[in-house]
Chains A and B, each alone.
Chain A
């Protein structure tokens, strides 16, 4: 075996080392910011370097089966023999490259973004820890190791959302994310129990090789397993019904939103479905649920994004919507398309988030210098930033066109492939035509809301205020540099999988074939003629252009007024602005009844009455009553005791003689 691939333990170990060092510095020398920057970004760049070496070494081998590295026996219990093991295969390597690559850029950006923050060392410690857990997640060779990473990234997400925890709203957002994720994790755990129960193993390779014989395709067991797995995905990847934590997660620092809540962690669900593509291929109902939930989420979240004013919230709903696309892809069985969109989305959404970070920094500084207390993230306070932030403006337009699906940018190829796959399966199963339609409408909305974001932020007149305007500046090179690189990737990222339609070599498709082949063999084979494909491409591009031009024509940035003087919306716009009142509905239907039940029944009745008064004090009271009732026995009269003794002896004698006699 190639010795370079054996270094697979190194990238996570480097990230862990960064966490340990930065975590120590956070306690010992929190002011040593230069050292923290070198460690924090350095370990990531080193990990990326190692990953590139592993990737090229593995590409030389390109084995059909994953390479599994067992490190130690982790949970040996009876028939459950679990090793702590990493698995290197084509899918894991794609994720490894995205996590370390995009992660490195975001770490570099953070150096500039968090420069003034007193919790600088703590921030980088958390960020390094996140990368460690994310790598454990993607490299784990069995479900429990993956679950360790899965829980770990959830922990880091919680820590970083509530990074500025002294404000109640931020701490609440962290808790909300954690609890919503716990609901999903419950699904993941139940799925693991079911998998072990039905296949007797939790190693990916063993499960996938025994599943076709151990489980009936389309049966109840496999459907339950995959649906519970998908419940885990809806938590981690913010899909209906568990998506509401992601918009609130914007309370964290913007690079965190870019890294965790756009590029990497939230795609873990997509990765899980792609990893278990065989299981999902065996369960048609679950596949339809995955694709259906994805399509609905894509449309639903996009509709909310239309009316948000907070620049980061627009992007958050956009992320939910794009994750929906990925689930349409993997649910359809087009694993490559889903993973492809995962990769390109990591590029352009990280760029959009970091760009918004650069805007927020500029706005924040301008307000800070002029001592104005306005919302630095509200687009109504922006406008005309193109003149002050030219680089950010140009790069964010690239990302906007990419996410809208304008050729030849990266998002065009990946989104088009997902829609084409859904349409292709729709020719065999008409249900998928509905998903395709939903995806198309969502694409229209995507183009619209992204153009709206650009229009309100960068175009039209400036609404920041005459005095503050003079302080609007482009961010330093440590922040624009990563933006530039992400811009290149967003523009050209599509080259990794140019389909044969354009005489490309569909590299990613062939690369992932060893991973996806077993699942693909079970799916209905559909083939679209080149004519149909061209029509689909034409429709998709026309939809994207309609969205962009429509937004450009319909929206009037000149008519906007700053947030503090903005009028209240009415009618449908207000429903969208209020996010379809989903948070309120959850609050009324779940949170309040749960709190009421906990307080009135569990606390006041079960705990206070049954346990405290009944069981605990009741036991003491019972013992006392028993003693009180038996007090008359102790008379102090020796005669009474003797009488009792004689009666006892007589009884014993009577029994003994009775026994002997019978």
Chain B
């Protein structure tokens, strides 16, 4: 009975996350938006687990574990970039461009 609102909130959160990733320039904000998308998905899993069994809830733990690891690695990268460039803006990270 709470399924539809839960999925709707999840969709809104996910869209916010995507929009953040697309339109923000600050690497840390983008990083937080990625977390937002992950948690939006988690919400979907939990909501659907009520009807489709416990598997969804189990999967949420996996996502949390992976998100924690990802947060550690991602923050380390951002720190390294900041030391190198004195900036966390994505606009300055274009070394892959040719020329």
Contacts and interface: CB of A to CB of B under 8 A. Distances in A.
Interface of A: 631, 634-639, 642-643, 646
B25 interface: yes
A649 to B, nearest CB: 9
B21 A634 contact: no
Contacts of B18: 646
A316 B21 CA distance: 95
Contact of B91 (A631, A637, A642, A646): A637
Contact of A635 (B21, B22, B25, B97): B97
Contacts of B94: 635-637
Nearest to B98: A634
A158 B47 CA distance: 93
Contacts of A643: 22
B97 A634 contact: yes
A642 B98 contact: no
A643 B21 CA distance: 9
A639 B25 contact: yes
A292 B93 CA distance: 91
Given A643-B22, A646-B18, A646-B22, A638 B93 contact: yes
14 contacts: A631-B98, A634-B98, A635-B94, A635-B97, A636-B93, A636-B94, A636-B95, A636-B96, A637-B91, A638-B93, A643-B22, A646-B18, A646-B21, A646-B22
A642 B19 CA distance: 11
A634 B98 CA distance: 8
B12 interface: no
Interface in B43-99: 90-91, 93-98
Chain B interface residue count: which class? 10 to 19
Contacts of B90: 637-639
A639 B93 CA distance: 10
A646 B21 CA distance: 10
A636 B97 contact: yes
Contacts of A636: 93-98
Contact of A642 (B22, B93, B96): B22
Q: Is the interface of B mostly helix, strand, loop or mixed?
A: loop
A634 B96 contact: yes
B87 to A, nearest CB: 14
B10 to A, nearest CB: 15
Given A636-B97, A637-B94, A638-B93, 9 more contacts: A634-B98, A635-B94, A636-B93, A637-B90, A637-B97, A638-B90, A639-B25, A639-B90, A646-B22
Contacts of A637: 90-91, 94, 97
A640 to B, nearest CB: 10
Interface string B4-31: 0000000000000010011001000000
Query: A-B pairs with the 3 shortest C-beta distances?
Result: A636-B97, A636-B94, A636-B96
Contacts of B21: 642, 646
B27 to A, nearest CB: 9
A578 B18 CA distance: 95
Contacts of B97: 634-637
A299 to B, nearest CB: 81
Contacts of A638: 90, 93
Contacts of A634: 96-98
A520 B97 CA distance: 89
A634 B95 CA distance: 11
A642 B23 CA distance: 10
Nearest to B23: A639
Contacts of A646: 18, 21-22
A504 B98 CA distance: 101
A642 B33 CA distance: 13
B63 to A, nearest CB: 18
A471 to B, nearest CB: 88
A407 B90 CA distance: 114
A639 B29 CA distance: 13
Contacts of B22: 639, 642-643, 646
A288 to B, nearest CB: 78
A613 to B, nearest CB: 29
A631 B96 CA distance: 12
Contacts of B95: 636
Nearest to B94: A636
A648 to B, nearest CB: 13
Nearest to A649: B18
Nearest to B18: A646
Nearest to B25: A639
A638 B93 CA distance: 8
Contacts of B98: 631, 634, 636
A121 B22 CA distance: 89
A636 B97 CA distance: 4
Contacts of A631: 98
Contacts of A639: 22, 25, 90
Contacts of B93: 636, 638
A643 to B, nearest CB: 6
